[in-house]
Amino acid sequence: MMRSGLDFTPYRRSTVGFDRLFDMLESSSLGQQSENYPPFDLIRIDDNRFRIELAVAGFGRDDVDITAQENSLIIRGEKKDEAGSDYIHRGIANRAFERKFALADHIQVRGADLRDGMLSIELEREIPEAMKPRKISIGGAEQPQTIESQAKEVGDRQKRETEAA
């Protein structure tokens, strides 16, 4: 396998579960064409929302196909030749294209819109509840206090104070 100029071996030794990330970084230059068509922008709207905008002038909704599969987004465009058109000069790009974007875990495609030759694809990061940070209590002699147990203790204390009086 052809390797990039970066060696991630030290990181592979000290991390767990990042194999796919390192594989992607090492092979990112492989398979990527140097072609820059169609041009695109990547926009961060906020910490969890993003937008990809591609300039696809001349392509209609039926000419563009967007596929989200696993952790990749593939955008293909193929324009049908117009029958009966006799061009003297054709300067507007009419060639087929394919753009691939690697998506991080938990990035979902929320929608797409094609307006004025610009294809906009909305993305959003949705972190599952199980992966969000949570407070871990340290176990010991005492049991964790719950609201119900605290209310019972207060009730018991009030009962003892009433009996003592």
pLDDT at position 160: 79
Q: What does the pLDDT look like over 102-157, one tens digit per residue?
A: 888 889 999 999 999 999 999 999 888 888 788 888 886 555 555 666 667 777 77
Which domains can be identified in the chain, with CATH numbers? 1-32 (no CATH), 35-81+90-128 (2.60.40.790)
Query: To which H or E segment does residue 112 belong?
Result: strand 107-115
Question: And the tokens for 10?
Answer: 């030290």
pLDDT at position 1: 43
At 52, phi and psi to the nearest 5?
A: -110, 130
Percent of the residues in the chain that have a pLDDT greater than 70, as a whole number:
81
Residue 47: other Cβ atoms inside 10 A: 7
